[in-house]
Amino acid sequence: MEEILVVNGLNKTFKLSKKQQKIDKTDNPVKVAVKDLSFKAYKGEIYGLLGPNGAGKTTTLRMISTLIKPDSGDALVDGVSINDDPDLVRSKIGFLTSELKLEDFFTPNYLYDFFSNLHQVDKEVAQKRKEEVFKKFGIDKFAEVKVGDLSTGMKQKISLVISVVHNPNIIIFDEPTNGLDIITAKTVTDFLVDLKNEGKSIILSTHIFSLVEKLCDRVGIIIDGKMVLEGNFSEITKDMTIEERFFELYDKKGEA
């Protein structure tokens, strides 16, 4: 199996403002979000980063995507270090979160072209891809309608196709179905499976057990910024469900 992502001892601590300390009900001026985190994901697989709210999933994915810098540690994305060549890493990955907001004023057509341009995709290639994916997702009928006038489902479809305008080999999804209705959530999971079938590698963060069960080949369980268990889904769930395994680990943390 070929490694597509190798995460090696990532650390990230945030300084908390007085206001944040009050919200978090803590006197501690720093928050360790990710602690010495390592894992590997392989080509053509869906890797699930499973953990509760605040576990450090988003921080981890943002470091891998080069949106924020780690305090220490490194990750190799398709062999390229996030520290040494963040630009090249960015060209290799697509990033999608359910929080991605499209500007209401623009049309799908404009947005697709804008992001293709940003990623320096050849114009003819971009046009051909746009026609294909717009047709596939039924965006073609709304290509010239302002995003603000479209349904939530259609907006999500547009976000999905835009996240992969540059045809990346590795796609990172941060809680992709959070806050979505069941129909739109299915559009997202179908999209994930489609990408996998095309041979793409996917890293997915979630706190939803059924999503991991349905989609993931490998799983990393992350609690309080630390990787507490990692492996093939079938190995991890040999004698219990993923939910049972998670709570077994979570309850142990309480005893520690």
State in angstroms the smallest separation of the CB of 204 from ligand ATP.
12
- The H-or-E segment that residue 222 falls in is strand 218-223
Helices 152-163 and 108-118, packing angle to 10 deg:
20
Between residues 19 and 199, which has the closer beta carbon with respect to ligand ATP?
A: 19
73 binds ligand ATP (CB under 6 A): no
State in angstroms the smallest separation of the CB of 197 from ligand ATP.
27
209 binds ligand ATP (CB under 6 A): no
State in angstroms the smallest separation of the CB of 151 from ligand ATP.
25
Tokens of 180: 């979505």
Between residues 57 and 130, which has the closer beta carbon with respect to ligand ATP?
A: 57
The one among 41, 45, 58, 95 contacting ligand ATP by CB under 6 A:
58
d(CA 96, CA 101): 11
d(CA 199, CA 209): 24
State in angstroms the smallest separation of the CB of 172 from ligand ATP.
12
Contacts of 30 (CB under 8 A, 6+ apart): 13, 14, 15, 16
Are 147 and 102 within 8 A, CB to CB?
yes
**Region of 52-60, 116-124, 130-138, 246-254 interacting with ligand ATP (CB under 6 A):** 52-60
**Footprint on residues 137-176 left by ligand ATP (CB under 6 A):** 175
Burial class (CB in 10 A: 0-12, 13-18, 19+), 238: exposed
d(CA 130, CA 116): 9
- Binding residues for ligand ATP, rule CB under 6 A, total 14
The one among 1, 3, 9, 20 contacting ligand ATP by CB under 6 A:
20
Q: Which residues bind ligand ATP (CB under 6 A)?
A: 14, 16, 20, 31, 33, 51, 53-59, 175
